[in-house]
A and B are shown apart, each in its own frame.
Chain A
């Protein structure tokens, strides 16, 4: 038994060795930035960054799930910096941060917008934890809400318009977790729709832009529920066998729509109805492991985080909106686009163009900065999420 077991493990190592040698550009689909590889080249493959190599091994999903099963067996609730609460929701702690620089940058943006006759609105999305004490079970504190409160206080002092979506969500959901996926940090598509409904009504009430919020009323939407259909980012980090799988609601309008969608990054410049904004190819990824680790249904809406996406609604004549957004807006802007003439999604993390130049050259009615609380004070790709002046 000993000899057989050891020989089997040795063969497994040799299998991985052969597998590593066979990593080529053709089957290389890393999500991270890494050195380019030219087909099969032993020495170049030896120089692959270690995490990149780990991401390309065959059987890796099986091993991810092995770790997940083990962690469930030994009763772990904290894996890879992700907490698992009693209801199975995966949570990440946010640290206490200094909001002053972020607030100052937003004030500068407001000044710039005012000079160009454009309104500015900040929209604060709720974070997954309803209160700082949500993580008290784990002996720690999540500061997402404190950070948001402090930030909004700064906006109040500087007379910047904002909408705190947390208030609306607390009214709608008895348990805020219901608005979010269990295995992902994002909110559900239904939450994004609700946010768009609130936002379009508020914009009309405050700024009289003539949007059509009635178009995205619940009665105009169809919902297809796909049970246990995907695993979110947190779940993939901890292992799908640890986190379980999430349901997904595919929400589409039942009323006629007509859009022009332009995403230069993806070489997309196309016309169609609402479905043109849906990456339904994701639904074709249906293998057992691929459903768990190889796709994100959240990005079925608007494909992913691109530097710039322009959605032109052929049926609306009012409302030119610039959304400076994070990934939470993926679930918002397709529905918001049904109520306005033009929505431009601008993602600071991936966009090197000058935002100020862009605002100056385009005649927007309103600039909306819409971020989750976790973005306040945060740097991504070496850039502060509120660094609008680049």
Chain B
């Protein structure tokens, strides 16, 4: 049994956020900018805290504690002149963050006989996972380390609080560094064009999430919810896996786009998180394009400090194992996530030391390898999607035809026909379609893109007004 997770009820694609909270904060921010710019950050911090406790304040102390811990750790480390003291404070700061994350996120892994203990009427099973804890603890750790390295220091607690809790990226990233927004914290200058650019990015994210991801979730749920995969045809299993491959991309990248867009509308330049990952030529390249801020975080704070690839093959493989083990369990406190992480590790080692895809010369070979990589990614997403390890293995077995499932059935053909638009659009826009079109027909590309965004927004608002509940997948982490 895992800890119960908590979602801020005000996700970006809810009516109350889109048509109440966000416009109110944006309009208020513009007014504050005109009246007294020095209160801009305080205003945004207040709005972010309000966002976080939209549906209850029980997790607010955790966020505030994290802010205070990070602030004081940073101050003490920055002010200290002794390296040993700095190191100790660094270790304490990191340890507390890890303990915080571990307690709330991984208590479900504690064996049943411990979790059944009731300590002063407190049951471990009743722990609520604070929304965004995986993200703000990582940012806290990165800040403390950056201060230790002398790369960044925020002396103003409001700035630090805003850095950790800025609402566009609070729940599901991107994972930002202090250096990413340090200049914007000091002064953010907004023109209407910048606001429109940000708004456009926000709308793209909205369309991705509501129009494509939400609709594909119905298709994937028809297989992955409960044990439905046991009675699904082989073709249905592959269709659901393909749909989930698209769903998770559009869900997560949609959120990131909305976060980046909103950040821009407030004068903050948040880092990119996705770069058309399904256009990658290999698994290695895929992970350079997927959730880039997390990959960079692990690279800079785990992989390189361990030695990276500079200390020989055995150590390199060990470092990759550590990184991917942590990556797996960062995504979830169930064993299938760890298994998923380790499978990625194996593929990366395989590519690095055996296949070496960068050395494939022929176009056909490259093409085949690209397709094989994506099939591997797709299979791994199936492991990611199910609710436990044994089901993950069962579903892979069924997909490969070893479980006696029928090859296809009416239901599969019906759902394929039903969701063909979303599957096709999802597949098309997973590649840099507009970027390629812009090179050849720039004006037509711009017109078409504007039309697609406008039509998609109209549709997204329709879906939102019709259906209120549509949580983001990565908010579960």
Q: Is B458 an interface residue (CB 8 A)?
A: yes
Q: Is A207 an interface residue (CB 8 A)?
A: no
Complex: A19 Cα to B420 Cα, angstroms: 36
User: Are A138 and B447 neighbours in the complex by a CB distance under 8 Å?
Assistant: no
Complex: A353 Cα to B14 Cα, angstroms: 38
Q: Which of A6, A21, A78 contacts B200 (CB 8 A)?
A: A6
User: Are A66 and B466 neighbours in the complex by a CB distance under 8 Å?
Assistant: no
Question: Which positions 445-461 of chain B face chain A at CB distance < 8 Å?
Answer: 446-447, 449-450, 453-454, 457-459, 461
User: Are B453 and A5 neighbours in the complex by a CB distance under 8 Å?
Assistant: yes
Q: Is A287 an interface residue (CB 8 A)?
A: no
Q: Which of B449, B454, B462 contacts A64 (CB 8 A)?
A: B462
Stretch at the interface among A53-61, A162-170, A311-319, A382-390: A53-61
User: Are A139 and B196 neighbours in the complex by a CB distance under 8 Å?
Assistant: no
User: Are B9 and A7 neighbours in the complex by a CB distance under 8 Å?
Assistant: no
> Which residues of A are found within 8 Å of B27, using beta-carbon distances?
14, 17
Stretch at the interface among A68-76, A145-153, A214-222, A322-330: A68-76
Complex: A45 Cα to B21 Cα, angstroms: 11
> Which residues of B are found within 8 Å of A80, using beta-carbon distances?
466-467
Complex: A60 Cα to B464 Cα, angstroms: 10
Q: Which of A7, A53, A63, A78 contacts B16 (CB 8 A)?
A: A53
User: Are B16 and A139 neighbours in the complex by a CB distance under 8 Å?
Assistant: no
Q: Is A31 an interface residue (CB 8 A)?
A: no
Q: Is B278 an interface residue (CB 8 A)?
A: no
User: Are B458 and A66 neighbours in the complex by a CB distance under 8 Å?
Assistant: yes
Q: Is A99 an interface residue (CB 8 A)?
A: no
User: Are A16 and B466 neighbours in the complex by a CB distance under 8 Å?
Assistant: no
User: Are A139 and B457 neighbours in the complex by a CB distance under 8 Å?
Assistant: no
> Which residues of B are found within 8 Å of A63, using beta-carbon distances?
458, 461-462, 465-466
User: Are A50 and B16 neighbours in the complex by a CB distance under 8 Å?
Assistant: yes
Q: Is B301 an interface residue (CB 8 A)?
A: no
CB A49 to nearest CB in B, in angstroms, measures 8
> Which residues of B are found within 8 Å of A13, using beta-carbon distances?
18-19, 22-23
> Which residues of B are found within 8 Å of A136, using beta-carbon distances?
410
User: Are A3 and B20 neighbours in the complex by a CB distance under 8 Å?
Assistant: no
Complex: A16 Cα to B20 Cα, angstroms: 8
User: Are B23 and A17 neighbours in the complex by a CB distance under 8 Å?
Assistant: yes
Stretch at the interface among B134-142, B364-372, B411-419: B411-419
User: Are A9 and B465 neighbours in the complex by a CB distance under 8 Å?
Assistant: no
Q: Closest B residue to A75 by CB, please name it.
A: B417
User: Are A139 and B450 neighbours in the complex by a CB distance under 8 Å?
Assistant: no
Question: Which positions 418-477 of chain B face chain A at CB distance < 8 Å?
Answer: 418, 420-421, 446-447, 449-450, 453-454, 457-459, 461-469
CB B232 to nearest CB in A, in angstroms, measures 11
Complex: A66 Cα to B418 Cα, angstroms: 18
Q: Is A46 an interface residue (CB 8 A)?
A: yes
User: Are A76 and B199 neighbours in the complex by a CB distance under 8 Å?
Assistant: no
Q: Is A1 an interface residue (CB 8 A)?
A: yes
Q: Which of A2, A16, A20, A77 contacts B446 (CB 8 A)?
A: A2
- Interface size classification for chain B: 35 or more
CB B220 to nearest CB in A, in angstroms, measures 15
User: Are A139 and B412 neighbours in the complex by a CB distance under 8 Å?
Assistant: yes
A: number of interface residues (CB 8 Å): 43
User: Are B9 and A50 neighbours in the complex by a CB distance under 8 Å?
Assistant: yes
Q: Which of A10, A46, A74, A237 contacts B199 (CB 8 A)?
A: A10
> Which residues of B are found within 8 Å of A46, using beta-carbon distances?
16, 20-21, 24
Q: Closest B residue to A57 by CB, please name it.
A: B465
Question: Which positions 142-160 of chain A face chain B at CB distance < 8 Å?
Answer: none
Per DSSP, are chain A's interface residues mostly helix, strand or loop, or mixed? helix
Q: Is B409 an interface residue (CB 8 A)?
A: yes
Q: Closest A residue to B211 by CB, please name it.
A: A70
Q: Closest B residue to A42 by CB, please name it.
A: B24
CB-CB under 8 A for A53 and B20, given A67-B463, A77-B418: yes
Complex: A138 Cα to B411 Cα, angstroms: 6
> Which residues of A are found within 8 Å of B453, using beta-carbon distances?
5-6
Q: Is A51 an interface residue (CB 8 A)?
A: yes
Q: Which of A20, A49, A66, A70 contacts B20 (CB 8 A)?
A: A20
> Which residues of B are found within 8 Å of A77, using beta-carbon distances?
414, 418
Q: Which of B21, B413, B454, B468 contacts A5 (CB 8 A)?
A: B454
Question: Which positions 1-42 of chain A face chain B at CB distance < 8 Å?
Answer: 1-3, 5-7, 9-10, 13-14, 16-17, 19-21
Complex: A76 Cα to B20 Cα, angstroms: 32
Q: Is A48 an interface residue (CB 8 A)?
A: yes
> Which residues of A are found within 8 Å of B420, using beta-carbon distances?
74
Q: Closest A residue to B422 by CB, please name it.
A: A74
> Which residues of B are found within 8 Å of A14, using beta-carbon distances?
23, 27
Q: Is A140 an interface residue (CB 8 A)?
A: yes
Q: Is A137 an interface residue (CB 8 A)?
A: yes
Q: Is B15 an interface residue (CB 8 A)?
A: yes
Q: Is B374 an interface residue (CB 8 A)?
A: no
Q: Is B203 an interface residue (CB 8 A)?
A: yes
User: Are A67 and B459 neighbours in the complex by a CB distance under 8 Å?
Assistant: yes
> Which residues of B are found within 8 Å of A78, using beta-carbon distances?
414, 418
CB-CB under 8 A for A6 and B199, given A20-B19, A67-B463, A80-B467: yes
> Which residues of A are found within 8 Å of B462, using beta-carbon distances?
63-64, 66-67, 70
> Which residues of B are found within 8 Å of A75, using beta-carbon distances?
417
Question: Which positions 1-58 of chain B face chain A at CB distance < 8 Å?
Answer: 9, 14-16, 18-24, 27
> Which residues of A are found within 8 Å of B459, using beta-carbon distances?
66-67, 70
CB A239 to nearest CB in B, in angstroms, measures 8
User: Are A1 and B450 neighbours in the complex by a CB distance under 8 Å?
Assistant: yes
CB B307 to nearest CB in A, in angstroms, measures 48
CB A58 to nearest CB in B, in angstroms, measures 11
Q: Closest A residue to B421 by CB, please name it.
A: A74
Q: Closest A residue to B23 by CB, please name it.
A: A17
User: Are A139 and B23 neighbours in the complex by a CB distance under 8 Å?
Assistant: no
Complex: A78 Cα to B420 Cα, angstroms: 13
User: Are A1 and B447 neighbours in the complex by a CB distance under 8 Å?
Assistant: yes
Sample (28) of A-B pairs whose CB atoms are under 8 Å apart: A2-B200, A2-B446, A5-B450, A5-B454, A6-B200, A6-B450, A9-B199, A13-B23, A45-B20, A46-B21, A50-B14, A50-B16, A50-B469, A51-B468, A53-B20, A54-B15, A54-B464, A54-B465, A60-B465, A64-B465, A70-B462, A74-B421, A75-B417, A76-B418, A80-B466, A138-B414, A139-B415, A140-B411
Listed from nearest, the 9 A-B pairs whose CB atoms lie closest are: A139-B411, A139-B410, A51-B468, A67-B462, A17-B23, A16-B19, A63-B462, A74-B421, A50-B468
**Chain B residues within CB distance 8 Å of chain A:** 9, 14-16, 18-24, 27, 196, 199-200, 203, 409-415, 417-418, 420-421, 446-447, 449-450, 453-454, 457-459, 461-469
